[in-house]
Structure 1
């Protein structure tokens, strides 16, 4: 079997002269810095074409499908973002309706905008002990589908950024009962397939389209992802069409070779690599589970919609300490030179993967143990905690009223409005906490006092807000108010 990554390595040592793109011509003297220019090619003879695969790239994608046990798999060098856009576009016709979990990635909302879809939302249960999103209850999905017969697909995120897994099997059965496909954003679960230590993959549980980011949890380069087609409920021709639309016409062979090499590694060495990884991961979790103030999050299965949990997500709660999540994040970075994945108001997240080394786990354990002891000493000495505004768990997923479609709001005339004066206006832009990129508000929704209060708390905590055109977050774009006609004003006054 010819492997893309090996052929690329061989070609980089050959004497072919490149009178073709890219412009660096595989000449390191033409570029400052060190880059793998010798392997950076375009669609040349013998290397196939991702948008019309016939041999090398066709076989590479078939190898992914064979390994994961799916009908077919598609490379994405534009990450899970392109795969999500393509999956939604293929599953739901323009102007159609889709049921989505509100805690989905911003790419889902971009697809809703691009296809002018009408979304219905399901809100995950909040875990009040750990202040993380729980799972999606299957009965909520069934209720929404029963009440909205026009819905044409269901989309959930499982696992979440924090590792919570929903009951995909039951949700898939419910979706199919109502004749619609289930799309699962499993961007953070590409590793599930390779060890029984982790939850089962959605691709094995009845989901129709499953999106996975290889670069998040497997040894592959940034931007590498796949879209698995697991059934015949979504037309393969439409998937190919939209993957061609949402991906660059000049896909990186370095990235595609990274996917191919990752799959070859998993076939040859994956079992042993994951045995070693899960052994040290479980030792780390057991060691850190005794910390009393910097607490390792371990959601209870069967509560708050938590069907299962990805134990490679090391989430450290600060709620029992004098620290905020932001405090802990920056202490780990500045004092211990440990870069965590993300910070939130009350926790930080570390993502562990098969690429980690024992030295890294040891450094993390020592840092958390030291900080936990420091917190114990401070609390014993009676050091008071700072007065902090806290989010109420009931406000974490407050429901906003959709006044206009997302597309209409984004394309309507807009004006800037001071955030504090925007209550009652219709938002014309997104506001996200990033990472993970889950919208606090979407275009077309009415701004409320609760939304503004939460925004202020997040900003006071130093959390990273994105989406607003005004990077200072002092103003928000709203749909321009149309002046009332004389007749309308007269009717309001006189009835």
Structure 2
């Protein structure tokens, strides 16, 4: 080994060297980022790492004819959006900006309860009063289902009637009517579609409901940036009529981690407010490496998107076809577990064959249920990693989830198929695990005592987790991934919630938000 080669090998600290070694190994990732560490077109990033020098525009103050303005306009054309913004803080920055831009401090928001924790952080920062839409459940798979347009309509209609009644009462009492009487008390609605597991809601139907009430719809479509590029995938939220859509480019497309985009359309949102908050929540020194990665991804999709996705769909379809003969493991797919539901529930699949609670399903999400094997999701994930060097994206109570993208190879799909078939034979007939799985009961429905912002300002104390029932949550408690809170600050903790979190802990999952010794921060009430 030459001196130069030795110096190169010794470059960097422990993290750098560990990443270098991992990159040289045979571990294959069915996880984000979507480039899968397999695309080598991007040159040495240090050559691209600049600041806002002459000729390179400014993300926070883009010139009318600047290079970043043109890059964002090109991304907007690709997605069919009226306006698109680059995000270097991931979809988190987009969600924070969208919610802050579509609401006023102290206002009200209707949010799907299975939203990402960044939604709750935006609610806290804006001291918003949150109302929740609880998704349907898909019990046979132990996952959250879709949010229904009918539930959105029912809630918004009731809230409008309630708001009008309150305003009429105030007018009678004080002799004056609120000049904003025609406004709906709910300022915006936000849902997540697809979910981390690939379940899609009826975005088009929900958008129509929201627009009838004059309310903008925000869709966290972080996991659906690939939807527009093939009919094999569900309809994307931009074409479905959502007013603000956030896509994580890095999750399912070939772009670097932290890259995302935010789309705006229609006349129901204050675009200037959203632009303002994009500057508030993003770094004042946005990375040109990350922005170049978004631009390169857009360019690739413009030039070769049709070809790349045709090849991807072919490989993905072949993989799914190869898994049809699995006997005990189950790969959720076109039927969204209809046959699996029928077997476990002892009835025939309904209507269109889709599981109740799913409008559509992203087939690039590889949701592999191990329920009939007796294996836990974490055990299946560990077997795939240690025995086959296959790293999945996440594990649930009795399933694992992988992410496929246009960067995946035929070899990668073949390795996963062989591994699943070997494990399928090995665990055929095993039913070690019995009883209710932690995912089946959904997210606990808890009463709000304080807003999240109010709870954050109160004095706190630590309480034994097992004795927390009756207290008011002072911090978020969630599983990561996917980052959906089980407890939100300001919620009254119930026995059911304690039991649910206990089930997750017993199943071996890392529950974030608990302190050492499984203590839980609660609001001091005395």
TM-score, normalised via structure 2 length:
0.83
Q: Does 1:396 align with 2:442?
A: yes
Q: Which residue of 2 aligns with 1:81?
A: 92
Alignment of 1:113-132 (within 5 A): 113-132=124-143
Q: Does 1:196 align with 2:231?
A: yes
Aligned pair partner of 1:108 in 110, 115, 119: 119
Instruction: Judge conservation of contact 2:476–2:488 (CA < 8 Å) in 1.
Output: yes
Taking a change above 3 Å as real, the CA distance of residues 64 and 396 of structure 1, as seen in their structure-2 partners, is: same
1:390 to partner: Cα distance:
3.0
Q: Which residue of 1 aligns with 2:27?
A: none
Q: Which residue of 2 aligns with 1:385?
A: 432
Q: Which residue of 2 aligns with 1:275?
A: 310
Aligned pair partner of 1:43 in 38, 45, 52: 52
Q: Which residue of 1 aligns with 2:464?
A: 418
Q: Does 1:467 align with 2:502?
A: no
Paired residues in the alignment total 448
Is the partner of 1:234 in helix, strand or coil?
Answer: coil
Aligned counterparts of 2:357 and 2:53: Cα–Cα separation in 1: 50
RMSD between superposed Cα atoms in Å: 1.8
1:29 to partner: Cα distance:
12
Q: Which residue of 1 aligns with 2:104?
A: 93
1:396 to partner: Cα distance:
1.7
1:39 to partner: Cα distance:
1.7
Aligned pair partner of 2:294 in 254, 259, 262: 259
1:322 to partner: Cα distance:
2.1
1:297 to partner: Cα distance:
1.5
Aligned counterparts of 1:140 and 1:248: Cα–Cα separation in 2: 38
Q: Indicate the larger mover: 247-256 or 286-295.
A: 286-295
Is the partner of 1:391 in helix, strand or coil?
Answer: coil
1:37 to partner: Cα distance:
1.8
1:392 to partner: Cα distance:
7.2
Instruction: Judge conservation of contact 1:415–1:479 (CA < 8 Å) in 2.
Output: yes
Q: Does 1:345 align with 2:391?
A: no
Alignment of 1:307-322 (within 5 A): 307-322=359-374
Q: Which residue of 1 aligns with 2:209?
A: 174
Alignment of 1:224-235 (within 5 A): 224-235=259-270
Q: Indicate the larger mover: 275-284 or 459-468.
A: 459-468
Aligned counterparts of 2:438 and 2:11: Cα–Cα separation in 1: 53
Aligned counterparts of 2:102 and 2:478: Cα–Cα separation in 1: 25
Aligned counterparts of 1:148 and 1:182: Cα–Cα separation in 2: 16
1:224 to partner: Cα distance:
0.3
Aligned counterparts of 2:354 and 2:208: Cα–Cα separation in 1: 19
Is the partner of 1:204 in helix, strand or coil?
Answer: coil
Aligned counterparts of 1:435 and 1:411: Cα–Cα separation in 2: 27
Q: Indicate the larger mover: 458-467 or 439-448.
A: 458-467
Instruction: Judge conservation of contact 2:373–2:431 (CA < 8 Å) in 1.
Output: no
Aligned counterparts of 1:174 and 1:414: Cα–Cα separation in 2: 40
Q: Which residue of 1 aligns with 2:326?
A: 291
Aligned pair partner of 1:355 in 400, 407, 410: 407
Q: Which residue of 2 aligns with 1:52?
A: 61
Q: Which has the higher contact order (CA 8 A, sep 6+)?
A: 2
Q: Which residue of 2 aligns with 1:20?
A: none
Q: Does 1:70 align with 2:114?
A: no
Superposed CA deviations along residues 201-229 of structure 1, whole A, max 9, x for unmatched, are 01001100000000000100000000000
Is the partner of 1:201 in helix, strand or coil?
Answer: coil
Instruction: Judge conservation of contact 1:389–1:457 (CA < 8 Å) in 2.
Output: no
1:31 to partner: Cα distance:
6.3
Taking a change above 3 Å as real, the CA distance of residues 397 and 384 of structure 1, as seen in their structure-2 partners, is: closer
Taking a change above 3 Å as real, the CA distance of residues 324 and 29 of structure 1, as seen in their structure-2 partners, is: closer
- Stretches of structure 1 that go unaligned for 5 or more consecutive residues are 1-27, 483-495
Q: Which residue of 1 aligns with 2:256?
A: 221
Is the partner of 2:300 in helix, strand or coil?
Answer: helix
